[in-house]
Amino acid sequence: MFSGSIPALVTPFRNGQVDEDAFRRLVDWQIREGSNALVPCGTTGESATLSFDEHYRVISLCLEVADGRVPVIAGCGSNDTATAVRHMAFAKSEGAAAALVVAPYYNRPNQEGMYAHFAHLAEKSDLPIILYNVPGRTITDILPETVARLAEIPSIIGIKDASGNLARVTSHRISCGTDFVQLSGNDDMALAFNAAGGVGCISVTANVAPRLCAEFQAACQAGDYGLARTLNDRLHPLHGALFSDVSPGPTKYALTKVLDNFPEDVRLPMTPASAGSRSIVDAGLEHAGLI
């Protein structure tokens, strides 16, 4: 259902407000450069700092500009189940193709609590759900046994896995079936992830290098791992560079280098990329042939 290069879009801010013009230009550029789907209001989109009105406006803008050219997977996660229900209802009403739903953070539910959270969302909405497992941010970890249980629910169709545990790709293939959509949440692991059975990446780097990321994913899907390795070698320093300071600061800095008049602003408690990080990003962009 979903595959290839799927950027987890940044949310541009200017003077404290969402910069709608910059976001429109970003979305259109992503599609023209070959991105296969789009994710607004994920972690990279600083969703934790958005008001409900802003969150919903960003989703609506993304759908408006995409205009059916690519699917939009709306970020709908929350540590409050009722809020996630509300987000999914809005995304469904606007025409999103699916919801990306992060594991509940801060509350630290056990595995039964996580199962109950996602099962409740599936009960309240028929919008397809992609689980998002990122223990480094949430502390909670959706274990493979819980993923297997959740995969039995028809509307839970896949996972964005940022656990960093590549063995889970095989575990999920065995327990959830080959139709269960597995998307990497780590750009630097996407090559091995795809070789193990993944079908794409919800990507930070694709914000900055959408065409290269799309070509890399296409090579993987075609089974041309020689070309995929070559493209991965071009992208690899950039993958690391975009996390050389707290994300999405380095990514927003990189976007100022590849898109005209793109704002670098982030919202507190995030801060802009440091001078050292900017130097690393510049080197990564140069290595990739983007500047």
Per-residue model confidence (pLDDT) at position 202: 98
**Tokens 């896995």 map to which residue?**
161
Per-residue model confidence (pLDDT) at position 1: 82
Over the stretch 254-291, which tens digit does the pLDDT of each residue have? Answer: 999 999 999 999 999 999 999 999 999 999 999 999 99
Residues recognised as catalytic:
132, 160
- Cα–Cα dist 257/291, whole Å: 7
pLDDT at residue 61 is higher than 90: yes
Mean pLDDT value of segment 155-162: 98
pLDDT at residue 246 is higher than 90: yes
Q: Which structural domains are found in the chain, ordered by start? A: 4-222 (3.20.20.70)
Per-residue model confidence (pLDDT) at position 96: 98
Percent of the chain past pLDDT 70, that is, above it, reads 100
Burial 64-87 (b: 16+ CB within 10 A, else e): ebbeeebbbbbbbbbbebeebbbb
Over the stretch 17-38, which tens digit does the pLDDT of each residue have? Answer: 999 999 999 999 999 999 999 9
Mean pLDDT value of segment 157-170: 98
Over the stretch 89-142, which tens digit does the pLDDT of each residue have? Answer: 999 999 999 999 999 999 999 999 999 999 999 999 999 999 999 999 999 999
Over the stretch 202-223, which tens digit does the pLDDT of each residue have? Answer: 999 999 999 999 999 999 999 9
How far from the centroid of its chain's Cα atoms is residue 154's Cα? 22
Torsion of CA 47, 132, 139, 107, to 10 degrees: 70
